[in-house]
Amino acid sequence: MPDRPMRIADLLRRLPPGFAPRMAAAAFAFLFWRLAGMPMPGTLGRLLPLAWVLSALIGATPAGRFETASLTAFATAGLLWPMSPLLAPAAGVALAAGAIPSMLGRAARGAAGAAAALLPVVPLIMATVPFTGDEPFNAALARSLLLDGDMDISDDLPQVAPESWVTPELGSPRPGITHHQPLFALFLVPGLLLGVPGYRLLPLLFACGAAAATARLLSRSGRDTGPAGWAILFLPGLGCAGLAYPDWAAALLTVAGAASLEGRQPVRTCILAALALAVLKIRFAPAGLGLVAAAISSRGRRSLVRAALLTVALGILALAVDRLLPGGGFFWARYGNVEFLRTLVHGTAARAGDILLMPAWMLLDQEAGLLWRAPWLVAAVAGLPALARERGPSRALLLSGILYAVGIAVWTPMDWHSMPTPTGRLLIPLLPLAAVSASRAGMPRPLLAVSAVMAATSLALPMSRFNHLDGRDALLDMFSSCLPHDAALWLPSMARPDLLVLAAWAGLSAALIMLLSRRTALPGALLLAAAAAVLAARAVSLDGVYEAEDLGPERRIGCSLYPELPDPNLRLDWRRSPERLLMLSDPWDAVILTSPGGGVVEVSARLSAMSAGAPALLRMEYGGEAREFAVESRVLPVPDWIGDVRGGRESPRRVDPGVLSDTLVTAVFEGARPGPLVIRRGGDSGVLFLDRIEVSSWERR
Amino acid sequence: MLPTAALLAISVIPAGRALRTAALLAGLLAAQASGLSEPWHLIPFVPASLIQPSGARIGVFLAAVCAVLMLAGPALPCTPCESTMQEVFAPESVEWPGTVHLDLSEPVALLRVPPGTAGPVEIRIEAGGCRDSLPAGYVISGDHVALIPQGVTTFRATGGGLVEIHLSRRPNPFEHPVIHAGPAHADR
């Protein structure tokens, strides 16, 4: 009995730093959610406080100002939440953000800490992130391999995702082959017993393993291991951590291969890692090649040349054997196997513009841009020059990263963004490099804070991580009723490119980075002012501009979206822009806009039409007057480079609006009495596909 | 309302009293402008912004927020926010394929019935989140009003024009009233 007080005191001393305040905050959040009657008490109302409990258990640092600020923001938004549909989600985001500093603190405590850092949000990931994108395909392949002994997933996909389907055109080159390679699917076997959490179990361990291996690499070079936590706890890494995708496994193999340069047999280990990367997914092969090149270059120049020749010869042999024996079924690519080289040759030249603009969209696009989702990557870019001067594992990561990035740019210039799967998924194998590079540069606290808030957004609003290349970010979609109708047009979008908006945001971003660096404050402030002025002017000029597919139910009656499903793969081969269209096919379908007033009202509509017989008619009505226009569209030709690749073979496909030319129709109403502007289909035949509407008005002198 | 909440939160967070006071004044003005009519919900911010030690300030604020929630409930907007269900015209029918989620922040949904629709509109409505078995809301269709019981119900709205679905519950601690309306269907 006498030593009991001592035991309690010992126990209290052994508690993690910040344990008591974080546990108290978790209890407060749990109770507050219920007192305020906030939505989703059974999921977010439990899982977010649970994240705080787990963050208290793994805490390595005392609770600080960021946690206090998060809790205050949560309580404020929660107190006022019925006032706006934005506030309850904001409260959730604030609460999720508060759990992140403890996780970052744990990640800074070595490899084991980095591996455990994700723990507090694992229940959130497992329970709230929809099982969608390529996850059901990978799961179906696991099922097919184990239960059927084949790779034909058409009879397995409905078992794991009843709403999914597969067609030879989209999913498989021919029956029995899927473009998902089999190795990764074997790691999803626990899912056959445990369901969705089982499919995600091993990918979760791969992500934690990659973070641990990166932390070990950092600690061996005498650096703080915190950046390994940034890789897994911030976007884009967090967006896929624990999901059934092979990208974190590739990151683990990459960092393991790079670390072997400090081991006994680096060349052999790197070749093994490279082979594993290629078998995991052919997309990762360039990353493996970089590892092998780095391992050999560490031995001298002569062996580098010899190894390069050997690698090329082995690659040619592997492709030839694969083409001749299983018919290109192993290293499968879109046009067979060896034939894909023709795609590279012709496609790269033809899509040079897309490739050149890719870095700008990768940074600034509202749906896929990393600059505002993951500003911590600015530090990673800043650290690259220092990294380039190093040897050993750092050089291996750098070479591997460069080759992988070039591979992505050349091989997937149109779908590097990985939509509709979480944004930046294809860049995850580069995250160990980003973490190591960021450790060589200073990280401004505001960038860290914004990165944490964006990561929290993807946790509290799991649907926000899924975009569909439709020109409007998922967050704007979710809250469109509370935002101006043209809010998406003020932000850069590769689906609806506006170079002035892109330039303004590039200027704003550069100015903010210059201001944060503090060495270039005056030029930064001047650039900020100029870019803000350009953006404001552009926003004013966009008044009266409506992207038809963004119109909400308050501005349209009927009018389905085309295609009905948002999957961007359905628009991958559209010869016009990939944005969705608003379909006017029924006599009752109508767009109703408010008139700007004025003596003269001019309405322009960009659209295409499909009709079997007589041309489709577009009817515009305003102030008791009506105008009708016959609209005809022609089928756009197949791009030359695709014809070259196909060798003149034209694959039959149905004509859809994505391959039709646009028509611009303009109506002027003069002296009509003010009223609503109605756009509908005239006549009773044909289908119209509206893209964009511009309404302007002026007084006649 | 989001900027208002941000200003009010800033009035509690930073260390400098001057910045907190400025944020509080701006937040109070913004709250007045954004339609926060009841003053009770602003009370926790006033003492919290004036107290200097950080721990005491946050403690007082969180306690005051809980007290206000228990006494007055969360703030309610003067004008309820409405959402409109999007219809789609098929050759033989009108469909409303989506689901609208009604809660205290968006308690009204509107469903437009096109003129000349032949059959009644069948709407699937799911209601819950309360700790009693009283109705969660009501549906107005023409001259008819029907109560929405908790659980899953299919309503047949026969009046044309506009069908309104209302969540009628007031906020109560430990209750999370919600109505999921849709999908809906009508023959043409």
pLDDT (0 to 100) of residue A333:
56
SS3 at position A639: coil
The pair of three-digit structure tokens given for residue A207, joined into one six-digit string: 């992500």
pLDDT (0 to 100) of residue A273:
94
Q: Give per-residue pLDDT as tens, A175-193.
A: 555 667 788 999 998 988 8
Inter-chain CB proximity B5 and A77 less than 8 Å: yes
Burial level of B79, CB count in 10 A (0-12/13-18/19+)?
A: exposed
Q: What's the gap in Å between the CA of B154 and the closest CA on chain A?
A: 23
Inter-chain CB proximity B174 and A68 less than 8 Å: no
Q: Give per-residue pLDDT as tens, A522-567.
A: 888 888 888 888 888 888 888 889 999 999 999 999 999 999 888 8
Contact B120, B158 (CB under 8 A): yes
The partner residue sitting opposite B174, judged by closest CB among A34, A65, A557, is A34
The partner residue sitting opposite A79, judged by closest CB among B2, B65, B88, is B65
Per-residue pLDDT band for B110 (boundaries 50, 70, 90) equals: very high
- pTM of the prediction? 0.90
Q: Which residues in chain B have Cβ-Cβ distances shorter than 8 Å to A589?
A: 89
- Say how far apart CA B100 and CA B166 lie, in whole Å: 12
Asked if B126 reaches chain A (Cβ–Cβ under 8 Å), the answer is no
- Say how far apart CA B62 and CA B55 lie, in whole Å: 11
The partner residue sitting opposite B89, judged by closest CB among A77, A80, A588, is A588
Q: What's the gap in Å between the CA of A656 and the closest CA on chain B?
A: 19
- Say how far apart CA A469 and CA A211 lie, in whole Å: 30
pLDDT (0 to 100) of residue A518:
67
For the CA atoms of A126, A129, A134, A135, what is the dihedral angle to 10 degrees? Answer: 20
Residue A352 vs residue A646, higher pLDDT: A352
Contact B20, B46 (CB under 8 A): no
- Residue A557: CB atoms within 10 Å: 18
Q: What's the gap in Å between the CA of B139 and the closest CA on chain A?
A: 20
pLDDT (0 to 100) of residue A312:
78
Inter-chain CB proximity A87 and B77 less than 8 Å: no
Q: What's the gap in Å between the CA of A550 and the closest CA on chain B?
A: 13
Contact A332, A171 (CB under 8 A): no
Inter-chain CB proximity A38 and B61 less than 8 Å: no
Dihedral sign (CA A646, A647, A652, A654): positive
Inter-chain CB proximity B69 and A32 less than 8 Å: yes
Contact A471, A547 (CB under 8 A): yes
The partner residue sitting opposite B84, judged by closest CB among A39, A81, A553, is A553
Asked if B104 reaches chain A (Cβ–Cβ under 8 Å), the answer is yes
Cβ-defined contacts of A481-487 (< 8 Å, 24+): A481/A85, A481/A552, A481/B81, A481/B83, A481/B106, A482/A84, A482/A85, A482/A86, A485/A546, A485/A550, A485/A551, A485/A552, A485/A555, A486/A539, A486/A542, A486/A543, A486/A545, A486/A546, A486/A547, A486/A550
- Say how far apart CA A511 and CA A515 lie, in whole Å: 6
Residue A459 vs residue A321, higher pLDDT: A459
Asked if A448 reaches chain B (Cβ–Cβ under 8 Å), the answer is no
Inter-chain CB proximity B9 and A76 less than 8 Å: yes
Q: Which residues in chain B have Cβ-Cβ distances shorter than 8 Å to A35?
A: 66, 69-70, 173-174
Q: Does the pLDDT at position A633 exceed 70?
A: yes
Q: Give per-residue pLDDT as tens, A359-410.
A: 899 999 999 999 999 999 999 998 898 988 888 899 999 999 999 999 888 8
Contact A277, A288 (CB under 8 A): yes
- Which residues 43-72 on chain B approach chain A with CB closer than 8 angstroms? 44-45, 54, 58, 61-62, 65-66, 68-70
Q: What's the gap in Å between the CA of A43 and the closest CA on chain B?
A: 13
Q: Which residues in chain A have Cβ-Cβ distances shorter than 8 Å to B105?
A: 81-85, 87-88
SS3 at position B94: strand
Q: What's the gap in Å between the CA of A89 and the closest CA on chain B?
A: 11
Q: Does the pLDDT at position A497 exceed 60?
A: yes
Contact B70, B96 (CB under 8 A): no
By C-alpha distance, the chain A residue nearest B175 is A37
The partner residue sitting opposite A68, judged by closest CB among B58, B85, B176, is B58
Q: Does the pLDDT at position A334 exceed 60?
A: no
By C-alpha distance, the chain A residue nearest B56 is A68
How many inter-chain contacts (A to B, CB under 8 Å) are there? 139
Q: Which residues in chain A have Cβ-Cβ distances shorter than 8 Å to B33?
A: none
Inter-chain CB proximity B1 and A75 less than 8 Å: no
Residue A7 vs residue B84, higher pLDDT: B84
Inter-chain CB proximity A87 and B1 less than 8 Å: yes
Mean pLDDT for all residues in chain A: 87
Q: Reply yes or no: is the peptide bond before residue A420 cis, omega within 30 of 0.
A: yes
The partner residue sitting opposite B105, judged by closest CB among A75, A87, A586, is A87
Contact A230, A438 (CB under 8 A): yes
Q: What is the mean pLDDT of residues B161-188?
A: 91
Contact A267, A297 (CB under 8 A): no
Asked if A588 reaches chain B (Cβ–Cβ under 8 Å), the answer is yes
Least confident of A17-31, A94-108, A479-493: A479-493
Q: C-alpha distances in angstroms, A392 versus A28, A206, A255, A273, A379?
A: 49, 23, 12, 16, 21
Asked if B87 reaches chain A (Cβ–Cβ under 8 Å), the answer is yes
Asked if B106 reaches chain A (Cβ–Cβ under 8 Å), the answer is yes
The pair of three-digit structure tokens given for residue A263, joined into one six-digit string: 């081991």
Percentage of chain A exceeding pLDDT 90: 46
Q: What's the gap in Å between the CA of B49 and the closest CA on chain A?
A: 12
The partner residue sitting opposite A81, judged by closest CB among B8, B74, B88, is B74
- Say how far apart CA A508 and CA A65 lie, in whole Å: 28
Q: What's the gap in Å between the CA of B186 and the closest CA on chain A?
A: 14
For the CA atoms of A387, A393, A395, A397, what is the dihedral angle to 10 degrees? Answer: -90
ipTM: 0.93
Least confident of A304-318, B71-85, B95-109, B133-147: A304-318
The partner residue sitting opposite B171, judged by closest CB among A82, A554, A557, is A82
Inter-chain CB proximity A84 and B81 less than 8 Å: yes
Q: Which of A31, A32, A35 to mutate to test the interface with B (most CBs of B within 10 A)?
A: A35
Residue A570 vs residue A473, higher pLDDT: A473
Q: What's the gap in Å between the CA of B55 and the closest CA on chain A?
A: 9
Q: Which of A76, A95, A479 to mutate to test the interface with B (most CBs of B within 10 A)?
A: A76
Q: Give per-residue pLDDT as tens, A127-147.
A: 999 998 889 989 998 998 888
Asked if A523 reaches chain B (Cβ–Cβ under 8 Å), the answer is no
Asked if A29 reaches chain B (Cβ–Cβ under 8 Å), the answer is no
Angle between helices A431-438 and A377-388 (to 10 degrees): 80
pLDDT (0 to 100) of residue A129:
93
The residue count of chain A comes to 701
Inter-chain CB proximity A82 and B68 less than 8 Å: no
- Which residues 15-44 on chain B approach chain A with CB closer than 8 angstroms? 34-36, 41, 44
Q: What's the gap in Å between the CA of B152 and the closest CA on chain A?
A: 18
Q: Give per-residue pLDDT as tens, A203-233.
A: 999 999 999 999 999 999 889 999 999 999 9
Inter-chain CB proximity A39 and B84 less than 8 Å: no
Residue B56 vs residue A90, higher pLDDT: A90
Q: Does the pLDDT at position A331 exceed 80?
A: no
Q: Which residues in chain A have Cβ-Cβ distances shorter than 8 Å to B13?
A: 65, 68-69, 72-73
